[in-house]
């Protein structure tokens, strides 16, 4: 999931969302607790740790049994740290984790978590990102809430470390990161001399346009970690990209500039937020395949275009490892 996807709808639906949820929350909580809203856990539970985060300071129970996550990034980072939430916003971006999502309650859409659904789950912690501060005062009525800062997807390792600190799982976090670097070293060793010879292109097909992903995008940082070079048109750092395109991670190209999508290999995906958008993007990809300019690309001619899932625009250590799986699969194990 890219940065704009994580923040989608958070402001657009604010007033309608808060009015509806606030009314529902007050009625539901009042009925459930005999007419009074319960005292927050962070006041009554002495076995807790004070944790400072983007929205304030919360007292986090030492023993976490019922965690709820408000977005895919928080969900995946919690799972990576050995915590399976009882409920979460679950999107197609996390569909690659199907086995680990079994039995988990879906509490809403990205940017629109349902507070009534969260209340029913009786969480001892609510975990999310800082763009969800618009529901912070309400979520605190249910359970201690942590909202961690997440400015852009290139910061995913720093964010993962902050999750491990907030959840008291530092040692687990260190082992997970260590395993990631172990796998990177194995990949580089198996690639050998080919590592310096391959230029990788990363392309996303939107319903209405084609984008290339740049050096400091989420997938771009994983490719850098793996020691892979990027196509020249995509070898642009975040600061320069922001100045040139107004976007630090991706840029749109028209059909007439399709050569900017070329490389020794091309990884391409069409993942979107809704099934209808996915269908439209897939149709656009099929149209692109019939374009003579696309057919003339080096990677297309050499049959080195690989369709990958939308975890390539993820934001977690699990998604990073999934990308690494693809690098092993297509760059080492493919004849």
What's the pLDDT band for 198 if we cut at 50, 70, 90?
very high
Write out the two tokens for 288.
């692109």
Q: Which residues contact 103 (CB under 8 A, 6 or more apart)?
A: none
Q: What's the confidence (pLDDT) of residue 166? A: 92
What pTM value is reported for the model? 0.84
Kindly compute the dihedral angle of the four CA atoms of residues 90, 93, 95, 96, in this order, to the nearest 10 degrees.
-140
Q: What is the pLDDT, as a whole number, of residue 62?
A: 87
Q: What is the mean pLDDT of residues 157-161?
A: 96
Q: What is the dihedral of CA 308, 309, 311, 313, to 10 degrees?
A: 70
| Range ranked top by mean pLDDT from 36-50, 169-183, 278-292 | 169-183
Token look-up 């400091």 returns 216
CA-to-CA distance for 233 and 236, rounded, in angstroms? 7
Scanning the structure block, which residue is given the tokens 């929350």?
A: 25
The per-residue pLDDT for 271 is 65
Query: d(Cα 312, Cα 68) in Å, to the nearest integer?
Result: 24
Reduced to 3 DSSP states, what percent helix, strand and coil does the chain have, rounded to the nearest 5?
A: 50, 15, 30
Asked if residue 238 lies in contact with residue 248, where contact means CB atoms within 8 angstroms, the answer is yes
Taking the C-alpha atoms of residue 223 and residue 216, their distance in angstroms, rounded to an integer, is 10
* pLDDT, average across residues 141-162: 93
Q: Does the pLDDT at position 14 exceed 60?
A: no
Cβ contact 314:202 at 8 Å: no
Task: Reply yes or no on whether the pLDDT at 24 is more than 60.
Answer: no
pLDDT tens digits for 289-333? 888 999 999 999 999 999 999 899 999 999 999 999 999 999 997
């Amino acid at each position: 999931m890219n940065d704009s996807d994580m923040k989608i709808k958070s402001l657009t639906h604010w007033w309608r969302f808060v009015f509806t949820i606030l009314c529902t929350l007050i009625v539901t909580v009042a009925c459930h607790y005999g007419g009074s809203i319960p005292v927050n856990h962070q006041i009554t539970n002495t076995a807790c740790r004070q944790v400072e985060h983007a929205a304030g300071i919360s007292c986090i129970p030492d023993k976490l049994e019922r965690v709820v996550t408000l977005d895919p990034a928080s969900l995946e980072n919690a799972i990576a740290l050995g915590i399976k939430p009882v409920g979460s916003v679950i999107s197609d971006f996390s569909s690659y984790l199907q086995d680990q999502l079994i039995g988990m309650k879906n509490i809403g859409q990205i940017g629109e978590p349902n507070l009534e659904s969260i209340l029913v789950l009786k969480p001892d912690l609510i975990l999310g990102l800082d763009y969800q501060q618009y529901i912070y005062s309400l979520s605190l009525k249910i359970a201690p809430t942590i909202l961690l800062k997440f400015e852009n997807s290139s910061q995913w390792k720093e964010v993962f470390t902050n999750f491990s600190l907030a959840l008291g799982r530092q040692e687990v976090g260190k082992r997970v990161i260590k395993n990631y670097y172990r796998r990177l070293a194995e990949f580089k060793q198996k690639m050998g001399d080919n590592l310096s010879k391959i230029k990788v292109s990363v392309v996303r097909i939107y319903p209405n346009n084609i984008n290339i992903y740049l050096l400091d995008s989420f997938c771009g940082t994983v490719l850098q970690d793996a020691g892979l070079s990027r196509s020249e048109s995509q070898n642009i750092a975040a600061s320069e990209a922001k100045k040139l395109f107004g976007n630090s991670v991706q840029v749109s190209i028209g059909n007439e500039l399709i050569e900017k999508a070329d490389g020794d290999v091309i990884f391409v995906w069409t993942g979107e937020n809704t099934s209808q958008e996915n269908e439209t993007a897939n149709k656009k990809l099929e149209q692109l395949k019939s374009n003579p300019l696309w057919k003339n690309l080096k990677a297309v001619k050499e049959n080195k275009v690989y369709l990958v899932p939308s975890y390539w625009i993820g934001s977690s250590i699990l998604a990073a490892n999934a990308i690494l799986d693809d690098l092993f699969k297509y760059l080492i194990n493919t004849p």
